[in-house]
């Protein structure tokens, strides 16, 4: 059972700086949950011209799906926060294509959740302005407040494979859970987005702590390993740690190491977290490995 966000048990965390189309450091069947948000194909605000073509983007997703199927334990869940993308007036069907890609990689398609941002969310362009300027039929382009969270499963979960002790440790205190996650029981989740200029998440398109909190609480057990192959600012690692889960994050941008360390509480600031937790940072290009933890000296 958790108290607020925190489960009191030692956890280990690993950050790999490199390209997640290759996850060779992660053993087959060793991951119990994936929560992640890949870059949205050439999103005008965050990833403009990152991929040469849409096919190039889909090829990247195919490689990631294949690796995820290899590293996932049987019966476990991949939660993909993703959405269709409008680039230069053309809408790319990323959700439909991602579902096809994950099915082809061997996953089962289990659910689709919709994340609704607050009505005042103004970061995206006001597409409805086209109609205001041209108040005639056929000028309608709606403002988008929604994103998808698509849920895949590798085979079927054996509920008997979890010991009684772990099951009880992971029991969801529904009253506590409901206090912060009021609409957890339905497919429409209303969650406040991270402000684009907020301190740690500037330019990263981070998802809110609440998204990781709900997915990790609902789809993993205490002591499980949670993987985020596009870890960005480290939201998934932070919440996994808070909830007594181990984590692995992969991130291509090396400059985010200090951000992730800070967010996950490994910069010596967060005295609330378990002193014995450790963070290993592996920078592929340099073969460098660093260890962090309140009781460990950096090496």
Q: Render the burial of 36-66: b for 16+ CB within 10 Å, e for the rest.
A: bbbbbbbbeeebeeeeeebeebbebbbbbbb
- Minimum Å gap between C-beta 240 and ligand SAM is 12
Q: Which is nearer to ligand SAM, 56 or 167 (CB)?
A: 56
Within 10 angstroms of residue 73's Cβ, the number of other Cβ atoms is 17
Rule CB under 6 A: is residue 204 a binding residue for ligand SAM? yes
- Interface residue with ligand SAM, options 170, 235, 242, 246 (CB under 6 A): 235
**Where are any strands of DSSP class E within 170-287?**
188-190, 225-228, 246-251, 278-283
**Which range of residues in 13-21, 71-79, 173-181, 219-227 is near ligand SAM by CB under 6 A?**
13-21
**Under rule CB under 6 A, how many of the chain's residues touch ligand SAM?**
18
Q: Which is nearer to ligand SAM, 152 or 207 (CB)?
A: 207
Would you call 153 helix, strand, or coil by DSSP? strand
Rule CB under 6 A: is residue 230 a binding residue for ligand SAM? yes
- Minimum Å gap between C-beta 143 and ligand SAM is 20
Rule CB under 6 A: is residue 233 a binding residue for ligand SAM? yes
- Interface residue with ligand SAM, options 37, 148, 246, 247 (CB under 6 A): 37
Q: Which is nearer to ligand SAM, 176 or 267 (CB)?
A: 267
Cα separations in angstroms, 116 against 73, 146, 161, 188: 30, 5, 35, 7
Rule CB under 6 A: is residue 276 a binding residue for ligand SAM? no
Rule CB under 6 A: is residue 213 a binding residue for ligand SAM? no
Residue 188: which of 215, 148, 133, 233 has the closest Cα?
148
Rule CB under 6 A: is residue 207 a binding residue for ligand SAM? yes
Place of tokens 């340099």: 286
Instruction: Say if CB 212 and CB 140 are below 8 A apart.
Output: no
Q: Which is nearer to ligand SAM, 223 or 232 (CB)?
A: 232
Number of H helices, E strands in the chain: 8, 12
Q: Which residues bind ligand SAM (CB under 6 A)?
A: 19-21, 37, 39, 201, 204-207, 230, 232-233, 235, 250-253
């Amino acid at each position: 059972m958790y108290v607020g966000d925190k489960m009191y048990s030692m956890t280990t965390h690993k950050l790999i700086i490199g390209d997640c189309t290759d996850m060779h450091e992660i053993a087959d069947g060793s991951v119990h949950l994936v929560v992640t948000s890949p870059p949205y194909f050439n999103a005008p605000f965050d990833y403009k011209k990152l991929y040469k073509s849409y096919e190039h983007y889909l090829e990247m997703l195919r490689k990631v799906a294949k690796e995820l199927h290899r590293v996932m334990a049987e019966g476990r869940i991949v939660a993909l926060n993703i959405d269709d993308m409008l680039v230069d007036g053309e809408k790319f069907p990323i959700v439909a294509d991602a579902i096809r890609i994950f099915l082809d990689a061997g996953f089962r398609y289990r659910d689709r959740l919709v994340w609704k941002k607050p009505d005042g969310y103004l970061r995206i362009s006001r597409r409805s302005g086209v109609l205001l300027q041209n108040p005639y039929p056929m000028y309608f382009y709606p403002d988008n407040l929604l994103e998808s969270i698509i849920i895949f499963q590798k085979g079927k979960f054996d509920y008997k494979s979890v010991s009684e002790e772990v099951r009880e440790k992971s029991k969801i205190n529904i009253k506590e859970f409901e206090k912060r996650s009021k609409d957890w029981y339905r497919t429409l989740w209303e969650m406040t987005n991270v402000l684009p200029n907020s301190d740690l998440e500037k330019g990263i398109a981070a998802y809110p702590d609440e998204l990781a909190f709900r997915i990790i609480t609902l789809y993993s057990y205490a002591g499980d390993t949670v993987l985020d192959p596009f870890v960005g600012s480290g939201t998934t690692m932070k919440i996994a740690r808070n909830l007594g889960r181990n984590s692995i994050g992969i991130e291509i941008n090396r400059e985010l190491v200090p951000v992730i360390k800070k967010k996950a509480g490994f910069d010596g600031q967060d005295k609330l977290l378990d002193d014995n937790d450790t963070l290993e940072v592996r920078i592929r290009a340099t073969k460098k490995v660093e260890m962090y933890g309140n009781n460990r000296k950096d090496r």
